[in-house]
Amino acid sequence: MSQLPMDMKSICLTVLFLTTISCEQDDSTSHAHNDSENIAAELCEHMAEGPSIAVFASAETTNLPDVSTPHTRFDVTLVADESGTWSGSVRYASPGTGDLRLATSKTIDVTLTAPDGSTVVAMPDAMASTCADIPKLISFPVSVGPYTLSFGPSDTADVKIVIELDDGNESN
């Protein structure tokens, strides 16, 4: 087996090193959430700065757009009805058990439907919003499974939302 010239060895080692670095797991969706203040700050940060994904809510209860990506603001466009108000539903797939913390960009009625079709009762939330971008902050107890979030009626066609799952662990 022939030996590579020194320059070729350097190039190979550099490529191997860069490949190893680029293959490391992206941990950008893991943030420490060790208390309600950190979750409130996280919600405020993502409401203001994103990243964001635009979704169109559905008037139906099937084939709902998904809003399960953590640490993301969803810009939800609601559906107009014949009375001139706006409403719609989206799907959230809870990856664990805990408190679903939902921040909205405006005051709007929100209903959470569990996988079994029952309505989940919102919990009194001791966590206050600390930023002007979040006039409504709601908590729901959830377990693993797909949930339906329904918004409205509203007098405008859009609402921005951020969801964090507070599972009691130090990081999510």
Contact assessment for residue 58 and residue 91, using Cβ atoms and an 8 Å cutoff: no
The residue behind tokens 């022939």 is 2
List all residues 6 or more positions away from 84 whose beta carbon is below 8 Å from its beta carbon: none
Q: C-alpha 20: how far from its chain's center? A: 30
Instruction: Give the other-Cβ count within 10 Å of 106's Cβ.
Output: 14
User: What are the extents of the domains in the chain?
Assistant: 33-166
Whether residue 25 has pLDDT greater than 50: no
Q: Are strands 73-77 and 52-56 parallel, antiparallel or unpaired?
A: parallel
CATH topology of domain 33-166: Jelly Rolls (2.60.120)
pTM: 0.76
The residue behind tokens 């959470």 is 112
> What confidence score (pLDDT) does residue 159 get?
96
> What confidence score (pLDDT) does residue 89 get?
97
